[in-house]
């Protein structure tokens, strides 16, 4: 079956793997024909004429990508959201997902119910069907993986490699809240209205930007590892340099309050631009197309802000108060 039990001899007990699949996961297919009721060992998708299939995959590990005590319905939603953010940056619309769960032996039936409820709500909100996957147990922390499938008109997927010198760099929403939200969730900084920790625990993928990006953006990426890191990936893929003006990077009210409390504003802005977990979209746009894409984004309920430019050469430059900042890191390093 697409969601397969790990141990055939341990499938039948109350709250066992068969119950997990039958009672909690099968409803998440929402009747999608390709899921085959989670009764087969594969799923299928029938390609849509005139559409390309777009696939992305992200994993989350307790203690690394979410706090061990975070509510599991929110963790489930975040698992899908971070993958949907990748689809949004490609200009794609979501179709469904494959799910892999590695549950620690300490996980209870109530834990799995809460996780499934989060998936169910996310499926309704983002029109997502569970198509299949796998479930196992682990002696380590809870480990979750989702593979998201989306569609985009043939040949219209927005790549990282389409930026050109003199293109302007734009970003959606506000930057820094994901990193600050982690600090708030750990109790390291004040978060009086809870807005920062909410941004960390419940990122909002910018799916409404998909058609806008397809119409105007030469290149795009989601901001997951840090604004400078992900803008730098556009520059590397496109064979050019990028300059980011940190004074122009949009901040939320919470981010602005935090910045005012810092001894050095320039270093504070740099920290916000390298923190990660924002799940906004950064994109390259021709100068003569900027007003048009901003108008289209505004009509979709989102703001796009010009924060820099691409140029000939290589590398990332970050300006603050008009001066280049020393960069010892651009963002989160998965290999560190």
Tell me the pLDDT tens digit for each residue of 77-101.
999 999 999 999 999 999 999 999 9
Band (pLDDT 50/70/90 cuts) for residue 45 is confident
Domain match, 182 and 270 both:
yes
Total structural domains in the chain? 2
Domain match, 201 and 73 both:
no
Domain match, 112 and 259 both:
no
Q: What is the pLDDT of residue 39?
A: 79
Domain match, 79 and 116 both:
yes
Domain match, 314 and 194 both:
yes
Picking from 118, 153, 188, the residue at the C-terminal end of a domain is 153
Is 331 a domain residue? Answer: no
Is 114 a domain residue? Answer: yes
Chain centroid to CA 202: 10
Q: CATH number for the domain including 318? A: 3.90.650.10
What integer is the mean pLDDT of 259-273? 96
Domain match, 125 and 208 both:
no
Strands across the sheet containing 217-223: 217-223, 280-285, 168-172, 304-311, 241-245, 316-320, 323-324
Q: What is the pLDDT of residue 277?
A: 94
Domain match, 252 and 315 both:
yes
H or E element that contains 83: helix 72-89
Is 162 a domain residue? Answer: no
Is 336 a domain residue? Answer: no
Domain encompassing residue 241: 168-324
Band (pLDDT 50/70/90 cuts) for residue 5 is very low
Q: Is the pTM of this model over 0.95?
A: no
Is 335 a domain residue? Answer: no
**Cβ–Cβ under 8 Å, residues 3 and 11:** no
**Cβ–Cβ under 8 Å, residues 87 and 211:** no
Is 29 a domain residue? Answer: yes
**In angstroms, what CA-CA distances link 236 with 86, 229, 314?**
18, 10, 7
Domain match, 193 and 93 both:
no
Domain match, 198 and 301 both:
yes
State the number of CA atoms in the 13 A half-sphere of 252 facing the CB.
23
Find, among 114, 54, 58, the residue nearest to 81 by Cα: 58
Is 240 a domain residue? Answer: yes
Query: Burial level of 208, CB count in 10 A (0-12/13-18/19+)?
Result: middle
User: What's the rounded Cα separation, in Å, for the pair 312 and 266?
Assistant: 26
Considering just the CA atoms, what is the radius of gyration of the chain in Å?
A: 21
Domain match, 256 and 125 both:
no
Domain match, 117 and 242 both:
no
Question: Is the pLDDT assigned to residue 334 strictly greater than 70?
Answer: no
Q: Which residue has the higher pLDDT, 188 or 14?
A: 188
Percent helix, strand, coil in the chain, to 5, is 40, 25, 35
Is 216 a domain residue? Answer: yes
Picking from 104, 125, 153, the residue at the C-terminal end of a domain is 153
Domain match, 144 and 239 both:
no
Tell me the pLDDT tens digit for each residue of 95-134.
999 999 999 999 999 999 999 999 999 999 999 999 999 9
**Cβ–Cβ under 8 Å, residues 25 and 32:** no
Band (pLDDT 50/70/90 cuts) for residue 13 is very low
User: What's the rounded Cα separation, in Å, for the pair 159 and 316?
Assistant: 19
Q: CATH number for the domain including 38? A: 3.30.1330.10
**In angstroms, what CA-CA distances link 238 with 135, 159, 302, 310?**
39, 9, 26, 10
């Amino acid at each position: 079956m697409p969601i397969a039990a790990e141990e055939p001899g341990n499938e039948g007990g109350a709250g066992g793997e068969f119950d997990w699949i039958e009672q909690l996961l099968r409803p998440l297919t929402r009747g999608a024909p390709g899921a085959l009721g989670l009764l087969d060992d594969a799923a299928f998708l029938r390609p849509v004429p005139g559409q390309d299939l777009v696939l992305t995959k992200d994993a989350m590990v307790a203690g690394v990508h979410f706090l061990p005590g975070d509510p599991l319905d929110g963790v489930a939603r975040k698992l899908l959201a971070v993958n949907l953010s990748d689809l949004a940056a490609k200009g794609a619309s979501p179709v469904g997902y494959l799910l892999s769960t590695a549950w620690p032996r300490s996980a209870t039936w109530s834990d799995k119910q809460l996780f499934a409820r989060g998936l169910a709500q996310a499926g309704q909100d983002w029109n997502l069907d569970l198509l299949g996957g796998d479930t196992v147990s682990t002696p380590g922390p809870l480990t979750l993986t989702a593979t998201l499938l989306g569609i985009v008109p043939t040949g219209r997927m927005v790549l990282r490699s389409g930026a050109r010198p003199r293109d302007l760099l734009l970003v959606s929403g506000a930057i820094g809240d994901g990193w600050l939200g982690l600090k708030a969730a750990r109790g390291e900084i004040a978060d009086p209205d809870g807005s920062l920790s909410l941004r960390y625990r419940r990122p909002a993928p910018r799916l409404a930007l998909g058609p806008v990006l397809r119409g105007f953006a030469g290149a795009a990426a989601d901001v997951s590892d840090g604004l400078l890191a992900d803008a730098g990936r556009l520059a590397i893929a496109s064979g050019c340099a990028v300059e980011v003006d940190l004074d122009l990077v949009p901040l939320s009210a919470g981010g602005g309050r935090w910045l005012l409390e810092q001894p050095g504003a320039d270093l504070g802005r740099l920290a916000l631009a390298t923190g990660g977990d924002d799940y906004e979209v950064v994109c390259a746009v021709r100068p003569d197309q900027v007003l048009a894409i901003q108008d289209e984004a505004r009509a979709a309920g989102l703001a796009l802000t010009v924060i820099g430019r691409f140029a000939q050469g290589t590398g990332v430059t970050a300006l603050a108060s008009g001066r280049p900042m020393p960069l010892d890191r651009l963002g989160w390093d998965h290999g560190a």
